[in-house]
């Protein structure tokens, strides 16, 4: 059995969310880190985040290593070492590329495991102790904690989930009261969320960078299942998530969500699964556009057809879609 003393790097991205990030740091500083080190990247926030994080560290002296990166992700000032790291990127690399950059830098310093942690989370003081204990029981598994709602700490956000055909996922214990959880310590899962995700990159590989933001955890989960890898939720390890607003705040967000899933289905699954998945997700998009945004049937069908055609043409869903399109900077009659 492998030791539970594998060197662990906790990876956090900040993008225009410095208040949440500082809350996350406060909870981690109060936790039992057991030798784990934090790697925090300001992901090209372009607001006052970088200055506030630097000022905080000047005052607290928490991060002994401060590193400034080039747009290509290469250190231009400072260098990695032993201990906590604070990094600054001049550009927004996206979720996967930002975490992959931190993963590579940490692995170059001898770290064997990484824990991806959203900056809008806080952690229970003993969360890492329970994840370390889970590693003893499940030495090769990908691990996730129980994730509760930050605003309602007595209610579960999810405990991972299950991959469903064709290209769907279902969360375990979504929105359930904590007292509804099973008494068991561990729960096998087939879907893992990137909100809090512990894995060994040499076993699993890195996150796909085909999506600027979103869908990475679905692709990662499909890859785990395809390769026969096990994923487990450690129910005793607790993280609290400040869950964001629904996609229903912007119709284009719902369209981009569907586009990412279809591109992922086309390239990762293919065949009958992809064909049925296209039909399912496009029909669901029509329903959402009509029910939530009050679009007429003709408008909703035209939008879904356009997203379907885009998915057939695209192999990646980059920043132009995930940011510019949602902000209305990319017209619907032009693919980025």
Q: How confident is the model at residue 246 (pLDDT cuts 50, 70, 90)?
A: very low
Chain segment 280-289, per-residue pLDDT in tens: 999 999 999 9
pLDDT over threshold 60, residue 274: yes
Chain segment 147-158, per-residue pLDDT in tens: 999 999 999 999
**CA 70 from centre of chain:** 23
> What is the average per-residue pLDDT within 109-121?
98
> What is the average per-residue pLDDT within 70-90?
95
Mean pLDDT of all residues belonging to the chain = 93
pLDDT over threshold 50, residue 265: yes
Q: How far is CA 276 from CA 165, 266, 270, 327, in A?
A: 9, 11, 10, 30
Q: How confident is the model at residue 122 (pLDDT cuts 50, 70, 90)?
A: very high
CA pair distance 6, 127, nearest whole angstrom:
16
CB 227 within 8 A of CB 135: no
Q: What is the pTM of this model?
A: 0.94
Neighbouring CB atoms inside 10 A of 321's CB total: 24
CATH architecture of 8-241: Alpha-Beta Complex (3.90)
CA pair distance 243, 248, nearest whole angstrom:
14
CA pair distance 267, 41, nearest whole angstrom:
30
pLDDT over threshold 80, residue 247: no
CA pair distance 123, 319, nearest whole angstrom:
30
Write down the pLDDT at residue 3: 44
CB 148 within 8 A of CB 155: yes
Write down the pLDDT at residue 1: 35
Chain segment 28-68, per-residue pLDDT in tens: 999 999 899 999 999 999 899 999 999 999 999 999 999 99
> What is the average per-residue pLDDT within 85-103?
97
205: phi > 0 → left, psi -120 to 50 → alpha, else beta; which?
left
Write down the pLDDT at residue 7: 95
Q: Per-domain residue ranges for the chain? A: 8-241, 247-325
Dihedral of the CA atoms 137, 139, 140, 143 (nearest 10)? 60
Percent of all residues in the chain with a pLDDT value above 90, rounded to a whole number = 85
């Amino acid at each position: 059995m492998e030791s539970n003393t594998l060197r662990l790097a906790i990876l956090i991205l900040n993008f225009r969310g410095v208040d949440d990030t500082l809350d996350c740091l406060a909870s981690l500083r109060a936790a039992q880190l057991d030798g784990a080190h934090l790697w925090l990247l300001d992901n090209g926030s372009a607001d006052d985040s970088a200055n506030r994080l630097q000022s905080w560290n000047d005052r607290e002296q928490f991060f002994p290593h401060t590193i400034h990166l080039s747009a290509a992700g290469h250190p231009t000032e400072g260098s990695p070492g032993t201990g906590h790291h604070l990094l600054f990127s001049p550009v927004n690399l996206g979720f996967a590329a930002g975490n992959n950059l931190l993963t590579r830098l940490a692995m170059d310093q001898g770290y064997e495991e990484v824990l991806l942690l959203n900056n809008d989370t806080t952690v229970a003081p003993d969360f890492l102790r329970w994840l370390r204990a889970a590693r003893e029981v499940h030495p090769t598994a990908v691990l996730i904690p129980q994730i509760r709602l930050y605003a309602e700490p007595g209610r579960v956000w999810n405990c991972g989930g299950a991959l469903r055909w064709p290209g769907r996922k279902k969360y375990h214990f979504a929105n359930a009261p904590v007292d509804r959880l099973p008494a068991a310590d561990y729960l096998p899962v087939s879907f893992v969320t990137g909100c809090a995700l512990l894995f060994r990159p040499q076993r699993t590989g890195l996150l796909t960078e085909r999506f600027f933001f979103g869908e990475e955890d679905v692709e990662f989960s499909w890859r785990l299942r395809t390769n026969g890898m096990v994923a487990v939720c450690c129910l005793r390890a607790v993280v609290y998530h400040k869950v964001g607003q629904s996609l229903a705040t912007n119709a284009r967000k719902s369209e981009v969500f569907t586009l990412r899933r279809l591109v992922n289905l086309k390239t990762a699954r293919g065949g009958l699964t992809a064909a049925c998945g296209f039909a399912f997700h496009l029909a669901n998009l029509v329903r959402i556009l009509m029910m939530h945004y009050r679009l007429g049937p003709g408008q909703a069908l035209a939008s879904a057809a356009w997203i379907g055609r885009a998915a057939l043409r695209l192999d990646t869903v980059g920043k132009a879609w995930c940011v510019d399109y949602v902000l209305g900077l990319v017209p619907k009659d032009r693919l980025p």
